[in-house]
Amino acid sequence: MQTSNPLLSDWKDRFQLPPFDLIKDHHFDEAFDEAFLQLEKAINKISEQSDAPSFSNTIEALERSDRLMEKVAGVFANLASSNSNPALEALQRELAPKWAKVDSDIKLNRKLFIRIDTLHKNRMNLSLSSEQMRVLELYHLSFVRSGAKLKDSEQQKLKKILQRLAELGTLFTQNLLKDERDWSLIVTEKDLIGCPQFIKDAASEAAKERGLDGYIITLSRSLIVPFLQFSPRRDLRQKAFSAWELRGANPGKTNNLDIVQETLTLRQERATLLGHNTFSEFKLETEMARKPEKVTELLMAVWEPAKLMANRDAKILTEMMQADGFHEKFLPSDWRYYSEKRRASEHDLNETELKPYFQLDQMIKASFHCAKKLFNLDFHQIDAPMYHPDVRVWEVTRENKHIAIFIGDYFARPSKRSGAWCSRFRGQSSMDKIQRPITVNVCNFAKAPKGQKCLLNFDDARTLFHEFGHALHSMLSNVKYAYISGTSVARDFVELPSQLYEHWLSVPSVLEKFAIHAETNKAIPKDLLEKLLKAENYDQGFSTVEYVSSALVDLAFHNETLTKDPMQKQKEVLDRIKMPAEITMRHATPHFAHIFSGDGYSSGYYSYMWSEVMDADAFEAFNEINDPFSLDIAHSLEKNIYSAGGSLPADELYMNFRGSMPKVEALLKGRGLLNI
């Protein structure tokens, strides 16, 4: 169509990248109006046609129906998360219920469902390929789980529930972003005595980002966590940690507790309408775990040894604090500080000594290097207009053939929500023509002062590899239908490719090549490398307890009787499992964005650990032959995991790669929790 709106025009870039230099906030209103209109017309054409249903005129037509919406929404959703502003946030609040309504209207379109249901009933007589069969079954299941078989009155009730849930998820996210954006702790140079220079640099850069002089501590994880690790000022650590914990729970408009309560109530109503006893039963029906009881079994198998280790560690850290002259109660805000001191003492490992060896640019090269050795991918940085000056772009090729576009957005800023994630501007498919993906990794690393190199800690580097594993899952996708491409897999399987890729960061030959000192340009000394790898499982009691407690609270929210006060429910669960008082949940309820910003990880936060059972076992395939870059195993890994998307059920994909499903012992061994 002829238009001056860049979102509605053909993108002339040779890779069909969004023209970010031309896209303005006001373009989205018109673009979404047109996208909704085209989608409605396409759905009506499919559902109202007189021709008998076929895979081509129904399922493949559905695959084509939302191409403009994917184009517009792909840009908008990424900007709303990584470079937001009041205009985009207002539009996001407006669009959330509209998206939910349109999705419900499609899934509850009776004529459309009759066509899909007819195909599904006759599927064995349609001469479908295995991929087409899988796509048909997933479409049918999606419509049924969206209420296609409900009575009219029940469908109307479900529509209202889903629209309201969409509104609540958006409000939760925006409240959290506002709390993170608005809080800061002004500190002086004197307040930062005892902190490494990289914290001072990050605090100075954070102040400049907000138009201030001097130093501030913000709620960006890449700044607050190192501050909690290294600041000897117990009073300032307590202030910063308290603000971190109170995100979403502060009095006033950004308080998320009413949103949480209403969300949980509506999710249960949704599950009941669809014939399930609890929301967990509904949600887990399509996951590898299948039932809440299996999730509980996994989590508790890990919880007990982790808690035992954490309690032992707490006694040691308390004694260290008392030796410093503090005889008050050991607080969660004390853990990271004394744990870091203990690590330096027991492992002769100091973050200040390590950090110069983990330059951001070198770790990016390391992640690319591993992808080259495993999957023969090459990365060529290109010039293209992006939505922020810090964002970088690479073309990904294999034997000079275009594979994907990879975008890296690495630095924290006030307009970006916290955390790290992988998203996409365009997915992969080859139904009508080959469409290669545009994938983005978003992180929140502290930006170095101008002219200095950005330094990461080892956990930051692990995060970079983790998100790049997701990106590879998207970029290597090789299926026909977008519906099952890339990361369109079971939630408790989607973390396998990302968590598995983390293992290559710890391969000694990779660190020897890319852990280069920022000032001396010398490779990390072998003795320091050995100490680093030996300490990899250090503090696993703490990290496992803070994670598993969050997963158990998530499961309880969605699988047990609701209470009027979600914080009371959180307390009940933590009391029941005897949560160590010295540790808090990784994500307390008011800022538990994984489960309340949307439906993705609701009753599914456990999935990181479910996938970890597999990733620990999967990397053993390389260890068993003592070759982390075995081409034969890498080929099987790509074929059965990274390129397969959702073309088969997740357990079949894993079995095809490994031959059998792993036991929880693989995870316990990997975390150093076996025989605790």
Distances (CA, A) of 572 to 201, 206, 294, 463, 566: 42, 38, 21, 32, 10
Tell me the C-alpha distance between 217 and 314, whole Å. 26
Tell me the C-alpha distance between 337 and 350, whole Å. 12
Tell me if 646 sits within 8 A of 585, measured CB to CB: no
Tell me if 647 sits within 8 A of 284, measured CB to CB: no
Tell me the C-alpha distance between 539 and 547, whole Å. 13
Q: Is 31 helix (H, G, I), strand (E, B) or coil?
A: helix
Range 645-670 burial, b when 16+ CB lie within 10 A, else e: bbbbbbeebbeebbeeebebebbbbb
> How many residues does this entry show for the chain?
676
Count of H-run helices and E-run strands, the chain = 27, 7
Q: Which helix (H) or strand (E) holds 547?
A: helix 540-559
What tokens does 499 get?
A: 């968590």
Tell me if 299 sits within 8 A of 289, measured CB to CB: no
Nearest partner of 367 among 442, 463, 447, 459, judged by Cα = 463
Close Cβ partners of 509 (under 8 Å, ≥ 6 residues apart): 628
Nearest partner of 644 among 455, 484, 439, judged by Cα = 484
Nearest partner of 219 among 186, 179, 257, 171, judged by Cα = 179
Of the residues 34, 205, 395, 467, only one is catalytic, namely 467
What tokens does 203 get?
A: 């605090």
What tokens does 14 get?
A: 């040779």
Tell me the C-alpha distance between 463 and 560, whole Å. 33
Whether 34 is catalytic? no
Question: Which residues are tagged catalytic?
Answer: 467
